[in-house]
């Protein structure tokens, strides 16, 4: 494999604006945001367990699976990367217990059993299988408030349990199914946390960002900021900004998708995360937006055998069929362009699904947020469906938003995603084939496959 020379990082990236630095250094900043989301999260669980079973009138369904999801996938992840992880309430109780403090920097070690997380699980595979597991039940989880609340509560308990046994945010880094795909798609974001000068970190022996100091904790995500090249595993907790005595960490803007070309950090587990995310978007679009009512019934577990068939199909499609198609495309490209290590080529081309998958999820989410977003108004006034009317909007009628625009937006987003994906394929191929012709030939089959997949999405969205 040829590694193209990357532009040398500036010897000293500019520092953050003073106001932003002050905010991110404040110990109260992250907990304050987490307390706000913890409030909403608690309300969602309460509504799920005690509110109306009608999903469209239950805060736990509408605000989690419509408002939060749309905000996450349409705004937060594409533009701000892992910023949701900054405010996520799921790991907060466990982390506060580990630290025996919410805001203050408590001295001494974290209060856990201090076990080491098994090395074989230090990757995305748990998150991949966890996401597929949840996806298998998604038609049920997304519509049944009490089941949805149970899943959310299970996430908190899992995070809490892991934080008692293992140090730091093992749940977020290796287990959380949401964190997995946020990390993958955060590679697209035009925002990154990086060190200003790598040399400063190399020369600094204390590594306060890793071990912590009296200003903050060592990185809870078990990342060494000095070597950070991608957004994937940085949870934007900003502890490193607090602890760095050299003021060497900054947040800055960059071009969309910059992380996709960090060749040395590509991994098979991440590639599969990309397959699973795109595959699930395709399956969801087919099941929820397609014209096949029987398939929706299967996903809704009308009978156990039907659901088992659906789940088996979902897993096979994501783990075998879609990767198999990509493997085939990579293999044909290699045959046409010249011998190259097929596994590396396959993994590299899988990252083309990051922009396309994100675009597919945005298009899919636009569909239901435009159609069902108006439920948020009534749920805001009557979160439990108990006949309350807190803000006078309980009787707000269901009103789809701009349905005439929806298809144009979806097609536009998918087209942008496809162009980005094809461009990624070419640029990735150039990392293997030095000449333009070889790279172009190698990526052609993959580009065709990407176009085909985009076409399927468009057919589904345009009916």
Partner 1 sequence: MFKRSEFIARLTVGVILIGLPALILGYQFIVRPQLSGIRTIDISASSPENGGFQPNSFSVTAGETVMLRFTSIDVTHGVAIGPGLGVDLGQIDPGHIKEVTLTFDEAGTYTFYCNTWCSVNHWRMRGVIDVRDRVNPNVIPTALPDPVIAALVAEGVDIDASVHNRSSAMSSMPMDDAPVLVERPSAERGATIAAALTIPTEFQDDAWRQSHTPQQAIALLLTQNPNTPQTDLADAVAYLWTRSAASESLARAAPYYAQNCAACHGETGGGDGFMAAQTAETPVAFADPNYLFTMRGDVLYAKIRRGGMGTDMPNFGTLLTPDETWALVDYLWSLSVEPNNSNR
Cα separations in angstroms, 255 against 187, 190, 420, 423: 10, 5, 12, 14
Q: Minimal distance in Å, beta carbon 279 to partner 1?
A: 29
Q: 194 and 252 in contact (C-beta within 8 Å)?
A: yes
Are 397 and 410 in contact by the 8 Å Cβ rule? The answer is: no
DSSP letter at 373?
Answer: T
Shortest distance in whole angstroms from residue 76 CB to partner 1: 22
Q: Which residues contact 35 (CB under 8 A, 6 or more apart)?
A: none
Q: Specify the DSSP class assigned to residue 410.
A: H
Binding mask 50-89 for partner 1 (x = CB under 8 A): x-xxxxxxx-------------------------------
Q: What's the closest the beta carbon of residue 283 comes to partner 1, in angstroms?
A: 23
DSSP for 14-65 reads PPPPHHHHHHHH-TTHHHHHHHHHHHHHHHHHHHHHHS-S-GGG-HHHIIII
- Whole-angstrom Cα distance, residue 388 to residue 51? 11
CB of 37 to partner 1, least distance (A): 10
Which of 123/297 has CB closer to partner 1? 297
The nearer residue to partner 1, 14 or 108, going by C-beta atoms, is 108
Q: Other C-beta atoms within 10 Å of 113: how many?
A: 8
Taking the complex as a whole, the smallest distance from the CB of residue 103 to partner 1 amounts, in Å, to 5
> How many binding residues for partner 1 (CB under 8 A)?
27
**Alpha carbons 414 and 457: distance in angstroms, whole number:** 8
Nearer to partner 1, 38 or 178 (CB): 38
Q: Is 191 near partner 1 (CB under 8 A)? A: no
Q: Which is nearer to partner 1, 11 or 42 (CB)?
A: 42
256 binds partner 1 (CB under 8 A): no
Q: Contact at 8 Å (CB) between 287 and 296?
A: yes
| In the complex, least distance from residue 304 CB atom to partner 1, rounded to whole angstroms | 15
Closer residue to partner 1 (CB): 52 or 248: 52
Closer by beta carbon to partner 1, 47 or else 314: 47
Q: 159 and 171 in contact (C-beta within 8 Å)? A: yes
Write down the least CB distance from residue 12 to partner 1, Å. Answer: 34
Cβ proximity to partner 1: between 146 and 204 the closer is 146
101 is an interface residue for partner 1 by CB under 8 A? yes
Task: By CB under 8 A, name the one of 5, 387, 404, 463 that touches partner 1.
Answer: 387
Token pair belonging to 450: 């990407």
Among residue numbers 12 through 51, which ones bind partner 1 (CB under 8 A)? Answer: 27-28, 31, 35, 38-39, 42-43, 46, 50
Q: Where are the beta strands (DSSP E) in 202-245?
A: 212-213, 216-217
Nearer residue to partner 1 within complex by CB, 398 or 408? 398
Neighbours of 35 (CB within 10 A): 14
Local structure of residue 8 (DSSP, 8 states): P
CB of 145 to partner 1, least distance (A): 10
Q: How far is the CB of 20 from partner 1 (least distance, A)?
A: 20
8 Å CB contact between 325 and 449: yes
Q: Round to whole Å and give the CA distance between 370 and 400.
A: 6
Q: Which is nearer to partner 1, 50 or 137 (CB)?
A: 50
CB-wise, 11 or 303, nearer to partner 1?
Answer: 303
Spatial distance between the Cα atoms of 229 and 258, rounded to a whole number of angstroms = 10
State in Å, rounded, how far the first CA of the chain is from the last one. 43
Where does this chain touch partner 1 (CB under 8 A) — which range of 96-104, 216-224, 265-273, 363-371?
A: 96-104
Smallest distance from partner 1 to CB 310, Å:
19
Q: Does 103 bind partner 1 (CB under 8 A)?
A: yes
Selected binder of partner 1 within 15, 33, 102, 336 (CB under 8 A): 102
Q: Are 280 and 135 in contact (CB under 8 A)?
A: yes
Shorter beta-carbon distance to partner 1: residue 251 or 377? 377
Binding residue (CB under 8 A) for partner 1 from 235, 385, 417, 438 = 385
> What does the alpha-carbon distance between residue 309 and residue 374 come to, in Å, rounded to a whole number?
34
Site for partner 1 in 135-164 (CB under 8 A): none
Orientation of helix 436-462 relative to helix 342-350, angle to 10°: 40
Positions in the binding site for partner 1 (CB under 8 A) = 27-28, 31, 35, 38-39, 42-43, 46, 50, 52-58, 96, 101-104, 378, 384-387
């Amino acid at each position: 494999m040829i590694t193209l020379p990357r532009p040398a990082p500036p010897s000293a990236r500019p520092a953050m604006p003073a106001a932003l630095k002050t905010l991110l250094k404040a110990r109260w900043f992250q907990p304050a945001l987490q307390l706000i989301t913890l409030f909403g999260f608690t309300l969602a669980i309460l509504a799920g367990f005690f509110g109306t079973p009608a999903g469209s009138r239950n805060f736990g369904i509408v605000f989690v699976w419509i408002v939060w999801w749309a905000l996450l996938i349409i705004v937060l992840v594409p533009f701000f990367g892992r910023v949701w992880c900054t405010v996520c309430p799921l790991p907060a109780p466990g982390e506060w217990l580990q630290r025996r403090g919410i805001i203050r920097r408590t001295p001494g070690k974290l209060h856990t059993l201090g076990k080491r997380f098994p090395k074989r699980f230090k990757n995305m595979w748990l998150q991949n299988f966890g996401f597929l597991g949840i996806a298998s039940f998604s038609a049920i989880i997304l519509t049944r408030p009490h089941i949805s609340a149970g899943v959310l509560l299970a996430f908190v308990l899992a995070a809490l349990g892991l934080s008692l046994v293992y140090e730091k945010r093992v749940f977020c880094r290796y287990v959380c199914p949401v964190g997995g795909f946020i990390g993958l798609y955060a590679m697209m974001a035009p925002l990154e946390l990086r060190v200003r000068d790598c040399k400063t970190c190399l020369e600094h022996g204390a590594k306060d960002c890793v071990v912590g100091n009296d200003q903050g904790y060592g990185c809870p995500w078990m990342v060494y900021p000095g070597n950070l090249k991608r957004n994937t595993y940085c949870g934007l907790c900003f502890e490193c900004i607090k602890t760095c005595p050299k003021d060497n960490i900054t947040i800055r803007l960059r071009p969309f998708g910059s992380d996709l070309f960090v060749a040395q950090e590509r991994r098979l587990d991440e590639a599969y995360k990309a397959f699973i995310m795109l595959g699930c978007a395709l399956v969801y679009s087919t099941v929820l937006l397609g014209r096949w009512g029987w398939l929706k019934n299967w996903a809704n577990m009308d009978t156990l055998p039907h659901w088992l068939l659906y789940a088996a199909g979902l897993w096979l499609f994501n783990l075998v069929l879609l990767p198999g198609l990509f493997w085939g495309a990579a293999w044909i490209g290699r045959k046409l362009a010249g011998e190259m290590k097929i596994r590396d080529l396959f993994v590299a081309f899988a990252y083309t699904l990051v922009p396309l998958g994100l675009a597919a999820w945005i298009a899919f989410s636009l569909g239901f947020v435009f159609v069902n977003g108006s439920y948020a108004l009534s749920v805001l006034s009557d979160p439990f469906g108990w006949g309350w009317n807190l803000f006078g909007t309980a009787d707000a009628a269901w009103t789809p938003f701009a349905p005439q625009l929806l298809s144009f937006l979806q097609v536009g987003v998918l087209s942008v995603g496809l162009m980005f994906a094809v461009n990624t394929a070419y640029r990735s191929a150039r990392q293997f084939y030095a000449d333009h012709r070889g790279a172009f030939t190698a990526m052609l089959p993959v580009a065709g496959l990407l176009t085909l997949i985009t076409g399927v999405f468009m057919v589904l969205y345009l009916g």
